[in-house]
């Protein structure tokens, strides 16, 4: 469906841009975890391509796009090389990297939703695949790096919610036959802006109602 809205070359370059910024986040985490260059490359590839590969396997787009386009494979390696030689400089522009990462989130949640719908999934499951496309690589990155995925940590700024909103806008537009270049751009922009606002104001999802902290619970148990 996106192919009907954007030319193949534009869509391809948008994909590569999103892959590149996601790969940078993976390579930077590898540096912080003291991985070697091979570990950096693995984490960059997983972060950049994991979500899209999972989506393609679920919807039956075999082989996944990550294995049919050499550019998809080489782009994370280019990001790895950049971080390997210039990681102090890249760390210093982390805020700029976060902006591009937010843009990639918006692009991938929309692209994932439309591709899943094109392959016959219903609107709700297409939204789920849009979310998986946007955040799946980050979840795999954290698991491989032996960290609790940021997606499920309460002390992380909203990440999944902007993707869900972007995917939801696309699903509604498909339902009402209103998906155009303008509405697609609006969905991408909405997810992008929500993610930026979440980072700026540290918006977080609520935890369980009337939840007590572990420290409070431990102190209560020790009281005679």
Which residues are within 8 A (CB) of 84 and not within 5 positions of it... i.e. 6 or more apart?
27, 37, 40
Which residues are within 8 A (CB) of 135 and not within 5 positions of it... i.e. 6 or more apart?
51, 105, 151, 159, 160, 163
- Each residue's pLDDT tens digit, 185-202: 999 999 999 999 999 999
**pLDDT at residue 222 in the model:** 46
Cα maximum dimension of the chain = 71
Q: Please check the confidence at residue 3 and state whether its pLDDT lies above 70.
A: no
- Residue 126 pLDDT level (bands cut at 50, 70, 90): very high
The mean pLDDT of 88-117, rounded to a whole number, is 87
Are the C-beta atoms of residues 166 and 187 closer than 8 Å to each other? yes
Q: Give the H/E segment covering residue 86.
A: helix 70-92
Helix spans in 145-213 (H): 160-175, 181-201
The mean pLDDT of 122-133, rounded to a whole number, is 97
Q: How far apart are CA 116 and CA 56, in angstroms?
A: 8
Enumerate the domain spans of the chain: 2-222
The mean pLDDT of 133-156, rounded to a whole number, is 92
Q: Please check the confidence at residue 216 and state whether its pLDDT lies above 70.
A: no
Total-model pTM: 0.86
Q: How far apart are CA 56 and CA 66, in angstroms?
A: 9
The DSSP code for 159 is: -
The DSSP code for 120 is: T
The mean of the pLDDT values for the chain is 88
- Each residue's pLDDT tens digit, 26-51: 999 999 899 999 999 999 999 999 99
**pLDDT at residue 224 in the model:** 47
């Amino acid at each position: 469906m996106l192919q009907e809205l954007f030319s193949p070359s534009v869509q391809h370059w948008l994909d590569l841009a999103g892959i590149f910024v996601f790969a940078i986040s993976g390579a930077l985490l590898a540096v912080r975890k003291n991985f070697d260059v091979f570990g950096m490359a693995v984490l960059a590839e997983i972060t950049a391509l994991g979500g899209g590969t999972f989506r393609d396997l679920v919807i039956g787009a075999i082989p996944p796009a990550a294995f049919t386009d050499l550019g998809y494979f080489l782009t994370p390696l280019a990001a790895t090389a950049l971080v390997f030689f210039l990681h102090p400089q890249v760390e210093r522009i982390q805020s700029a990297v976060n902006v591009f990462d937010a843009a990639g989130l918006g692009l991938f949640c929309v692209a994932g939703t439309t591709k899943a719908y094109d392959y016959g999934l219903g609107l709700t499951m297409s939204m789920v695949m849009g979310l998986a496309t946007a955040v799946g690589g980050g979840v795999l990155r954290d698991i491989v790096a032996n960290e609790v995925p940021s997606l499920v940590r309460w002390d992380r700024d909203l990440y999944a919610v902007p993707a869900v909103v972007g995917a939801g806008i696309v699903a509604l537009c498909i339902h009402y036959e209103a998906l155009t270049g303008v509405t697609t751009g609006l969905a991408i922009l909405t997810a992008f802006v929500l993610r930026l606002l979440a980072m700026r104001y540290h918006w977080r999802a609520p935890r369980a109602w009337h939840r007590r902290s572990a420290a409070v619970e431990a102190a209560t148990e020790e009281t005679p």
